[in-house]
């Protein structure tokens, strides 16, 4: 989705790989460790992964970013590293408990 920005500064090497997807939220396009050819990684192997998960463990591979993430038939997403899940839960709690929402 165009126009979205991550709410915190990203390391320079990750900034160009940032994207926001409707089903995954704030993401970085990465190569999954162990799932690509080290000698010639290609853009077709890129996968959007939650920013927080990538920040835990990543490295540069040529012009790409590789991250150690769980991958089976698709990326295994851990809820605590998914921004939109936390935001949605927080929003529900604010409404349920009738708390003031200081996020605007």
Separation in Å, CA 82 to CA 38, 60, 63:
27, 22, 25
What's the pLDDT tens digit per position in 36-80? 888 888 888 899 999 999 999 999 998 899 999 876 656 666 666
pTM for this prediction: 0.67
What integer pLDDT is reported at residue 28 of this predicted model? 93
What number of other Cβ atoms are within 10 A of residue 9's Cβ? 7
């Amino acid at each position: 989705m165009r126009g979205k920005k991550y709410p915190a500064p990203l390391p320079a090497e990750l900034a160009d790989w940032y994207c926001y997807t409707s089903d995954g939220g704030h993401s970085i396009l990465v190569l999954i460790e162990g799932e690509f050819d080290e000698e010639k990684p290609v853009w077709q192997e890129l996968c959007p992964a939650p920013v927080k998960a990538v920040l835990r463990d990543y490295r540069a591979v040529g012009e790409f970013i590789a991250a150690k993430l769980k991958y089976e038939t698709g990326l295994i997403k851990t809820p605590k590293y998914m921004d939109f899940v936390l935001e949605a839960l927080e929003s529900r709690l604010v409404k349920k408990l009738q708390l003031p929402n200081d996020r605007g």
